[in-house]
Amino acid sequence: MKIPKIKRRYCPYCKKHTPHKVSQAKRRQGSSLTKGSKHRARKRGRARGLGSRGRYSKPAITKFKMSGKKATKKTDIRYECSECKKVHVQKHGVRTKRVSLNEAKG
C-alpha cells in the first residue's frame, strides 16, 4: 500500500483541516479479554502472557505458535498535525503486506 508522506486531514485540536505528517508505527497485539475481566484476572494474579492469557478453561500460551500466521499485517498509521504537532492514530487498520510512504504529489 502506498501512502503519501503528507496528507491534508482534519485536526480535532485545531478544528480544521491542516497538513499532517504520516508515519508508520508498529502495531502491538491487543488482548482478547475485556477490561473488566483483565482487572479481575489481575487480582487473581493472572492476565500475563499472550493470547487468551490462560483464560480459565484453556491453558495459557507460553510459547508463540507460528501456525496459521497471516501474511499481511494491519497498518498502524500516525498522523502528526503540522500546526499543533499533536499525533492522531488512524481509526481502522487495513490489511496489507507492506506500507510505503512516498512523496506527496503537487
- Contacts with Zn ion, residue ranges (CB under 5 A): 11, 13-14, 81, 83-84
Kindly state the smallest distance separating residue 77's Cβ from Zn ion, in Å.
16
**Shorter beta-carbon distance to Zn ion: residue 41 or 81:** 81
Kindly state the smallest distance separating residue 10's Cβ from Zn ion, in Å.
9
**Shorter beta-carbon distance to Zn ion: residue 42 or 83:** 83
**Shorter beta-carbon distance to Zn ion: residue 6 or 60:** 6
Kindly state the smallest distance separating residue 83's Cβ from Zn ion, in Å.
5
**Shorter beta-carbon distance to Zn ion: residue 76 or 80:** 80
- DSSP labels, the chain: -EEESEEEEEETTTTEEEEEEEEE-PPPPPPSS-HHHHHHHHHTT---SBTT-S-TTS--B-S---TT--S-EE--EEEEETTT--EEE-SS--EES--EEEPPP-
